[in-house]
Amino acid sequence: MTTTSSRYQVSIEADPTVPIIRMTRDFDATPAELMRAHTDPELFARWVGPIGMETEILDWDATTGGRWRYVARRDGVEFGFHGCFHEVGDESIVQTFTFDGRRGDVSLQTLRFEDLGDGRTRLHAQSLVDSFEGRDQWLASGMETGVDEGYAKLDTIVAELR
Amino acid sequence: MVARLAEGDATVGELADPYDVSVQAVSKHIRVLTDAGLVSQSKDAQRRPCHLEAEVFDLMTSWIERYRHQAQERFERLDAVLADMRSDTRLTDHHLEEGAAS
């Protein structure tokens, strides 16, 4: 199945000169609404995890200098993630991100919500990792999560929510 | 390093130059990539430039495409949550207007 149900597609760029992944994606929402969906733990847990995984927030303080920790679970397998909220502004978030399976690695994530007017917002997300090897592993990790498993399920969830 | 080779062939020295790494470290990394069949080094020339095999391009492209798929899925869930937030708000406003208990 394809993801043609959405009118907005994400674009991704892996910078050849610095170990950065950049993404942009438009939303039918205001910057304030997008900010809330990123900082309210209950809302965040509903969309962040891969399909088929349950996200449990263990620690959450979405303020400048705050921290976060959550686990994603499926079939008794757990993946933990944690980091700090370095700066939470009105229309931007700067935070660190570490996968507990690779504790020495940390990426710096910058999210910016650009108001496009008419209730639309463009998300600019940038992840800076500490090496090209780390960046390429990050990109490759998408291969292990079984992306083909659940487009049908996703369609159902989206339909139920609407 | 793979990203640099994706732009064109380069010698070990050229690969080490822009980064704060030793030629030895780069050589070691290139050896691993060569053993894995991802990089080849021409034997004849003195420079022995490193060459990225075509399948690596395919691999990089497929990594990015998979990652894009995953991000797209995640953002579509975010779309649904945002739509939900709006309908919750409308519902609450509606209830308030009618004076009904939520």
pLDDT at position B17: 81
pLDDT tens string B40-51: 887 766 778 888
pLDDT(B5) > 90: no
HEC assignment per residue over A84-117: EEEEECCCEEEEEEEEHHHCCCCEEEEEEEEEEE
Nearest residue in B to A22, CA atom: B68
Pairing of strands A120-128, A107-117: antiparallel
pLDDT confidence bin for A159, thresholds 50/70/90: very low
Residue-range domain boundaries for chain A? 11-161
Model confidence, pTM: 0.67
Most confident of A6-10, A56-60, A148-152, B86-90: A56-60
Q: pLDDT (tens digit, 9 = 90+) per residue, B65-75? A: 878 888 999 99
| 8 A C-beta contact, residue A72 and residue A49 | yes
Token pair recorded at residue B23: 């030629």
Chain centroid to Cα A159, Å, comes to: 22
Give the residue among A60, A121, A28 at the shortest CA–CA distance from B84: A28
For an interface test with B, which of A3, A139, A141 has the most B Cβ atoms less than 10 Å from its Cβ?
Answer: A139
CA distance A64 to chain B (A): 23
Judge: B66–A142 Cβ closer than 8 Å, yes or no: yes
Kindly report the nearest CA distance between residue A86 and chain B, in angstroms: 23
Asked if B68's CB is within 8 angstroms of A10's CB, the reply is: yes
Phi, psi of A57 (to 5 degrees): -80, 125
Percent of chain A with pLDDT over 70: 82
Q: With CA atoms as reference, report the closest residue to A123 among A56, A34, A42.
A: A34
Question: Which residue, A98, A132, A119, is CA-closest to A33?
Answer: A119
Compute the distance between CA of residue B14 and CA of residue A1 in angstroms, rounded to an integer. 44
Q: Per the CB < 8 Å rule, is A36 touching B85?
A: yes
B10 pLDDT higher than 60 = yes
Sign of torsion, CA B91 B93 B98 B101? positive
**How many Cα atoms occupy the beta-carbon half-sphere of A78 within 13 Å?**
9
Predicted-complex ipTM score: 0.73
A11-161 CATH pick, 3.30.530.20, 2.60.40.10, 3.40.50.300, 3.40.50.1820: 3.30.530.20
Chain-chain contact of B76 with A9 (C-beta, under 8 angstroms):
no
Phi, psi of A114 (to 5 degrees): -95, 120
